[in-house]
Amino acid sequence: MECIIIDKRIDYDGSQISSLWAYNLADVQADSIIGFRGACDVKIEHMIDLEDKKQGDLIFSTDMLHFVIEHFDSTDLKLVYARQRLFTSIVREVLSLRYSDITRNGDDLFIGEKKLTISIASTSAVSQKIHFGINVLHDHYGSLEDMGIQEDEVMVVLQEIAEAYVREFDDIEKDLRKSRSLDVI
């Protein structure tokens, strides 16, 4: 799995969840996680969550950390949702090292009663995709700023989260190669 951290700001509008975005952006033709910082303003035509779309929800933030994940080994929707939950748990684990009052409900993280994150998972004909965003600053929702994470730590947190996800999948790959089938004696 390739991990790419982009130093320049990229605003997330929902189009980045399209399949092969990593290939178009950085010639990555493998499972990948791309991390970057930027605003978030998901246009209605890019909304994947039909409930959000029906309710006319706004998905907007002036400053977020974004993670766009792509896996090519399956197009199973249930599996990508399991991976999304795994990623959410990894984010909580990393952030809990800096701030203890983080709770998880499904694919959402909260600090106190304030929602901290957004996330969506889906599939295409060739891959599974996940987008996960964490508010850096926000007037209404929870943010890294509310957690006391300083500006000079923000990109460090992004890198720690992305690398933790890569380590998890590297470890899974190693386990796959040492486990025998149950039908083999």
The residue type at 171: D
The residue type at 172: I
**Is residue 159 scored above 90 in pLDDT?**
yes
Please check whether residue 91 is in contact with residue 99, taking contact to mean a CB–CB distance below 8 angstroms. Answer: no
Under CATH, which number does the domain 2-175 receive? 3.30.930.10
Angle at the Cα of 4 from the Cα atoms of 14 and 91, rounded to 5 degrees: 70
User: pLDDT-based confidence at 123, cuts 50/70/90?
Assistant: very high
Query: pLDDT tens digit string along 33-76?
Result: 999 999 999 876 555 654 654 455 668 899 999 999 999 999 99
Query: pLDDT tens digit string along 137-157?
Result: 999 999 999 999 999 999 999
